[in-house]
Structure 1
Amino acid sequence: MADENEKLSVVRNDGQQFSIWPAERPLPLGWHEAGITGTRAECLAHVDQVWTDIKPQNTGTPVNNVLHRVVEREAADCPDAVAVTAGEASLSYGELNARANGLARRLTDRGVGVETRVAVAVPRSIEFVVAVLAVLKAGGAYVPLDPEYPAERRAFMLADSGATVVVGSTAELDLPAGVDFVALGDGTDAANLDVEVDPGNLAYIIYTSGSTGVPKGVAITHADVLDLVQADPRLGVGRGEVVAHLAPTAFDASTFEIWCALGRGGRVAALSPQQVSVSELGDALRATRPDWMFITSGLFHLLVDHDVDMFASVGVLLTGGDVLSPQHVQAAAKVIRNTVYACYGPTETTVFATLHAVDPDADYERMPLGGGLQNKIVRVLNAELDQLPVGEVGEIHLGGAGLARCYHRRPGLTAERFLPDPYSEVPGARMYRTGDLGRLLPNGEVEFVGRADRQVKIRGYRVELGEVEVALNAHPSVSAAAVLVVGDNEVDKRMVAYAAPAGTAILTATGLRSWMAERLPAYLAPSNYLLLDKLPLDQNGKVNRKALPPPWKSRCDMGLDEPVAPQTDTERLVAQVIADVLSLDEVSMDDSFFALGGDSLRSIRALESLRAVGIKLTARQFIGQETIGGLAKTIESITDDRVGDMR
């Protein structure tokens, strides 16, 4: 369905979900004409006008089979079993249930009911688990709101989600008018609530990057999450087993970490919300010994490079989010206590859609995405939505259980991405167009080939380059801008922004970096900025991205002040390490590591490079320094001998 001028029809199923379909093709089972035919743009515009909301669908499952009821049953059966830990702190299932009930009653007092959206502005912690469980008990749907996000981003998410209540540990969030703040804390009544929630009701909305500059809220139901928790034995967390909680709360992997644990009587082990070094994470894993853990591919590769033996403390490891190196995955599979899975799944299909159990001795050319989870369907289709034979490249479409209800308040986009499933025997079934290209393998699994659009993965986060470009082009002194991704692998991959000034305006990399930091979360901000007099254009007058110059390797091309040279052995060593990590020829003592293009993964590489020469720093010590010279002084203050003597 790639032809913009193809004649399409607006169709709907019995659940009043709308989509688009080729006008000349027979309608799939359970789908009906909505009376509108036209181009893609015309059909989607019509859907935007008529489809204002999506009602909960009757799932046909018992009403008590919702997330919080499952946790309540665990609390009744095993009240003293540990439910969640963070460092030395812990809550039993009975304590977790009681605290969540108390907070839930305070939420209902503020008007929270079935499908009320409630933002949860709490970092990864025991308190976050209490808060989201309380929201569900009150009947609401939680919206994870990272307190570190820029105020503009937080305001958009609150307005778009329709959240009228924010749960947090501090009221210093600069909330818009009409939004109530509820502080974390216990209530007076610890008994379970009797709010009736259907499995088809919303559990949460998580926001992902949007190609038009507008983030998309992915609406997931209780039934979607419970299918992930209960259906596939490969994700069958055992009662009492420990699931590491490392993902950011606004990242959908936290769904697996929290609900696959609590939904089966396991234990959520919330790791430090602060960035940690390889050695600190290794120490945490050796102390916690998680039975289950998910790690994004970029961080996973770094950990394998520097301390693969830490995975001997892990039972089942799931890793994905970008292309995986077979060598790294197999190295971990050789030391893991149980199994390493390569995993794949967009947020729109509730965390995971496929798994591949890694064979440490197999001969992999590429790491497969794997086969579909129980109740999930994976198909590779061509532009005409025909199924392709083994080996032919097409777009990956995902169907079956776990498909999001919609993009919140984005009916046209929902209709465009969630299509009728012509191969399903379930009336009105849908499938999700992932935008990922892949091919079927002879064993029925799927292999990733690339993207059909400009979506990329950076450090495990899904990034629409169009959204970054929209924010950059909004700067009043920018006449044209483009964003590219450079780097050969997940660790080296970074976003580079190209910008040209408007008229006689003067642009600086520092000014653009500040502009973007005020509007986008850190993971969406380019690492580097390259300023040009003008951007190259193609014959149609559009930015010719292929003609953009490669990003510099020399600091002098970055438009910075004259460098301050290192003077001591410590400063010279630190400067060389930072320059190597950032692929630059030199750095200045008054440079900021992050302003030069550093990020969380590169900071870990820098820490390990320093550790290799005997300098041991925590991640907090590294990140807390504003300049490279300040970092060198910190090292000298905590090191008995100067670096020159150490070497």
Structure 2
Amino acid sequence: MTDTIDALLARRAAAHPDRVAVHGADGRLTYAELDAQAERLAQLLAGSGVRPGDVVALCCERSARSIVMLLAVLKAGAAYLGLDARQPTARRDLILRDASVRVVLADEVSTGGLDGGGYTVIVPGEEQDAAHERPSARPAPHSGSRSGSDRTAYVAYTSGSTGTPKGVCVPHRAVLRLVVDTDFIGVESTDTFLHYAPVAFDASTLEIWGALLNGATLAVAPPGDLSLSELLRFVREERISVMWLTAGLFHRAVDVGLTDLPHLRHLLAGGDTLSVAHVNRAVAALPHTAVTNGYGPTENTTFTTTHTVREPVDGATVPIGRPISGTGVLVLDDRLRPVPDGEPGELYATGEGLAHGYLNSPGTTAERFVANPYADIPGERMYRTGDLVRRQTDGSLEFIGRGDGQVKIRGFRIETGEVVAALTALPGVSRAEVVAQRRGSGDRRLIAYVVGAEGAKPSALEMRRRLTDILPGYAVPALVRVVDELPLTANGKVDRAALERRDTAERPEVNAEYRAPEGRLETAIVGMWSDHLGFDGIGADDDFFELGGHSLMAVTIIAELHQEFGVEISPIDFYFDPSPAGLARSVEKAGVTP
């Protein structure tokens, strides 16, 4: 593949000049108008010193004008970098420095805070007309720069494991492989795509170029955050036929009700694990709509595999499906050997969708983009996703969890994905997330956050009891909290960091009615338990193990009782009467008076 995004779009404009390409709150543009305006802005960029291979940042709200900016950057031979307006200024400045950005394209409302830093801010407007009067002065690519479809189209920054963001360099060929002649969604020229995702996130790649490179129409949602009712009203009024939602937004949209969307023929969701219950409800509510689960890291350009659902899912998880065209997948063990079907292994992606790597980070690139030992052509690479999957008998893939979701609790290795799968398989559970919360003592404990299915009120106590029948004791979360919603990041994924920081001081659900401790012994023991369990309000009759205690903690508490009162308490006595009142009785029995 030797084409580029801008070259293909120019051909679409020549073939269908009067077809509406994009419309938003700031107006609509035909394909001819879009291409011409982008060409004029590209001339302005070249006159401002932008050279092929440069990175040009965009700081703007959703609009038709923002699409002109994207296309202009590509026509100038540069790569675009979408900035997230909600990110902290320090992080934004770090990204701009890392990408060596010298020009920032912005709209009038987004220039706040862009007050220098070694780059020029351009607000496109009437000056484009003046630029159009000047002869073209496009510089040739500098020595060593990439050309054609191998040129970098955009840079998308993702969170790094070290806390420093990483810029993923995505080439034109990878975008074309995603949206041109696809096998997971047949795009028609009569389609209208929703554009809602921020340009800083790769969901926008499918939205924008999926529409424009296939001669369809792109409907740009109004700028700013929309309520779900506002978003769905826009989808209905604009007769959107193709819509992509993050998993978190998809779940919420289903909860609100996906009704009265007669023009929606394809609904795609992804970015995180989809709830079986919500997928089934979406299929039931939208009988004429294909619902697709899309999986893929930014490093392999939005989607690696997809699974389209037209009938209710009867399994415990929604498959992530098979690789899309132009992509291959390998399921390998830690020695890069293929694993048998049905066995878990790490997913590696191959093919045209691979990014070049991480900007200015050759070490991390070499670590994640490795040589493919099974390639027919020497030198081909594969991307190590870090995700654990298993291939089912029908060839589709099932997502298990993150490989780096493995945590150590009390010396035991635990895959949080396994715990999440066990929770979501329980009756009345819609969604769940499990985090390992680090406490002041330095140790960590598993905490599960559960969203109940519609009309259900799952019991945290009952869920922990059921999990003890499914999981090893060390993998049962110390706390299970039932919540109305899971917090989401700006790109719609579950915000695990926010869950790890959440206050868990509230007393969990237990069988015993609350009774305040009485006397010196019960009060002292409740204080010990609070210190170790990490929450307040423990009652004198509360069960230690229902509160999330475990054998190692019990041994520690027995040692503290010995230090405090000079008595030896048998672990058996502790286990037979595991409450502060019961432990106080054991202390009294050992010879300490209240």
- For the residue of structure 2 that corresponds to 1:389, the secondary structure is coil
Q: 1:173 aligns with which of 105, 113, 116?
A: 113
Which deviates further from its counterpart, 290-299 or 82-91? 82-91
Out of 526, 529, 549, the position equivalent to 2:498 is 526
The reply to whether residue 146 of structure 1 matches residue 84 of structure 2 is yes
**Is the Cα contact below 8 Å between 1:243 and 1:291 reproduced in 2?**
yes
- How far the C-alpha of 1:79 sits from its partner, in A, is 1.2
Q: Does 1:68 align with 2:15?
A: no
Determine the structure 2 residue equivalent to 1:487: 449
Q: Tell me the secondary structure at the aligned position of residue 226 of structure 1.
A: helix
Counterparts of 1:95 and 1:173, CA distance in 2: 31
> Is the counterpart of residue 111 in structure 1 residue 49 in structure 2?
yes
- Partner-residue secondary structure (3-state), 2:234: helix
Q: Which residue of 2 aligns with 1:132?
A: 70
* Contact in 1 for aligned 2:166/2:358 (Cα 8 Å): yes
Q: By how many angstroms is 1:66 displaced?
A: 0.5
The residue type equivalent to 1:488 in the other structure is V
Secondary structure of 2:65's aligned partner = helix
Q: CA deviation at 1:343?
A: 0.8
Instruction: Summarize deviations over 1:575-628 as a string: whole Å, max 9, x none.
Output: xxxxxxxxxxxxxxxxxxxxxxxxxxxxxxxxxxxxxxxxxxxxxxxxxxxxxx
* Residues 10-43 of structure 1: CA deviation (Å, up to 9, x unaligned): xxxxxxxxxxxxxxxxxxxxxxxxxxxxxxxxxx
Structure 2 CA distance for partners of 1:420 and 1:483, relative to 1, 3 Å: farther
Distance (Å, rounded) in 2 between the aligned partners of 1:438 and 1:331: 25
2:178 aligns to what SS in structure 1? Answer: helix
- CA distance change for structure 1 residues 433 and 549 in 2, over 3 Å: closer, same or farther? farther
Give 1:225-374 correspondences, 5 Å limit: 225-334=175-284, 335-374=286-325
The Cα of 1:480 is off from its aligned counterpart by 7.9
Alpha-carbon distance change, 210 to 374 in structure 1, aligned in 2, over 3 angstroms = same
* RMSD of aligned Cα (Å): 3.4
Note closer, same or farther for the CA distance 1:182–1:416 as it changes in structure 2 (3 Å cut): same
For 1:423, the equivalent position in structure 2 comes to 374
The Cα offsets for residues 147-196 of structure 1, whole Å up to 9 and x where unpaired, read as 33211011011001111110001433234432111112251228998667
1:399-438 to 2 correspondences below 5 Å:
399-438=350-389
Q: Is 1:83 the equivalent of 2:55?
A: no
Number of the residue aligned with 1:205: 155
Give the Cα separation in 1 of the matches to 2:293 and 2:494: 26
Contact 2:236–2:263, Cα closer than 8 Å, also in 1: yes
Distance (whole Å) between structure 2 residues aligned to residue 169 and residue 107 of structure 1? 15
**Which AA in structure 2 matches 1:114?**
P
The 3-state SS of whatever aligns with 1:439 is strand
Whole-Å separation in 1 of the counterparts to 2:205 and 2:216: 14
Give unpaired runs (5+ residues) of structure 1: 1-60, 458-462, 493-516, 533-546, 555-647
Q: What TM-score do you get using the length of structure 1 for normalisation?
A: 0.62
User: Contact 2:327–2:353 (CA<8 Å) still a contact in 1?
Assistant: yes
In the alignment, is residue 163 of structure 1 matched against residue 114 of structure 2? no
Q: CA deviation at 1:363?
A: 2.0
The amino acid across from 2:187 in the alignment is V
| Same amino acid, percent of matched pairs | 37
Matched, 1:217 2:167: yes
Residue deviations 1:552-595, cap 9 Å, x none? 899xxxxxxxxxxxxxxxxxxxxxxxxxxxxxxxxxxxxxxxxx
The count of corresponding residues between Structure 1 and Structure 2 is 437
Q: Distance in 2 between matches of 1:429 and 1:553?
A: 59
Question: Secondary structure at 1:526's aligned position in 2?
Answer: helix
Q: Which residue of structure 1 lines up, in the alignment, with residue 122 of structure 2?
A: 182
Instruction: Return the index of the structure with the highest Cα Rg.
Output: 2
Distance 1:483 1:380 in 2: 30
Aligned mates of 2:136, 2:264 — CA distance in 1: 35
Distance 1:372 1:67 in 2: 22
Q: Report which stretch shifted further, 444-453 or 323-332.
A: 323-332
1:337 is displaced (CA, Å) by 3.0
Higher relative contact order (CA 8 A, sep 6+): 1
Q: 5 Å matches for 1:529-608? A: 529-530=502-503
Q: Return closer, same or farther for 1:87/1:388 CA change in 2, 3 Å cut-off.
A: same
**SS at 1:453 equivalent:** helix
2:326 maps to what in 1?
Answer: 375
Q: Check whether the contact 1:316–1:336 (CA below 8 A) recurs between aligned residues.
A: no
Q: Secondary structure at the match of 2:370?
A: strand
How far apart in 2 are the matches of 1:224 and 1:553? Answer: 55
Is the 2:183–2:324 contact (alpha carbons within 8 Å) kept by the matching residues of 1?
Answer: no
In structure 1, distance between residues paired with 2:496 and 2:196? 20
Letter in 1 for 2:252: L
How big is the shift at 1:448?
Answer: 0.5
8 Å Cα contact 2:194-2:218 kept in structure 1: yes
- Equivalent residues in 2 for 1:450-489, closer than 5 Å: 450-454=401-405, 486-488=448-450
For 1:550 and 1:125, the matched residues in 2 are separated by 48
Change (3 A) 1:106 1:486: farther
Q: CA deviation at 1:487?
A: 1.8
Contact 1:79-1:92 at 8 Å conserved across structures: yes
The 2-side partners of 1:92 and 1:217 are apart by: 33
SS of alignment partner, residue 488 of structure 1: strand
Secondary structure in 2 aligned to 1:364?
coil
> Quick check: 1:282–1:307 contact (8 Å CA) kept in 2?
no
- Which deviates more from structure 2 when the two are superposed, residues 203-212 or residues 173-182? 173-182
How do 1:625-640 residues align onto structure 2 when only pairs under 5 Å count?
Answer: none
Letter in 1 for 2:107: S
SS at match of 1:69: helix
**Hey, what's the Cα distance between the residues in 1 that align with 2:54 and 2:76?**
9
**Is the contact made by 2:38 and 2:69 (CA closer than 8 Å) also made in structure 1?**
yes
Cα deviation, residue 92, structure 1: 0.8
Q: Is the 8 A contact 1:101 1:192 kept in 2?
A: no
TM superposition shift of 1:233: 2.9
Q: How far 1:331 moved relative to its partner?
A: 2.1
* Distance change >3 Å, CA 350–CA 489, structure 1 → 2: farther
Question: How far apart, CA to CA, are the structure 2 residues paired with 1:198 and 1:291?
Answer: 32
Shift of 1:84: 0.7
8 Å contact 1:202–1:221 — kept in the other structure? yes
Which letter does structure 2 place at the counterpart of 1:526? A
The question of whether the paired residues in 2 share the 8 Å contact of 1:311 and 1:332 is answered with no
User: Cα gap change, 1:313/1:87 in structure 2, threshold over 3 Å: closer, same or farther?
Assistant: farther
8 Å CA contact 1:123–1:273 kept in 2: the answer is: yes
2:445 and 2:327 map into 1 onto residues whose CA distance is 35
Conservation of the 8 A alpha-carbon contact between 2:174 and 2:352: yes
Measure the CA separation in 2 of the matches of 1:193 and 1:343: 42
Structure 2 contact 307–319 (Cα < 8 Å) conserved? yes
Are 2:344 and 2:390, in contact at CA under 8 Å, matched by a contact in 1?
A: yes
Change in 2 beyond 3 A, CA 1:221/1:481? farther
Q: Alpha carbons of 1:361 and 1:148: their partners in 2 closer, same or farther (altered >3 Å)? A: closer
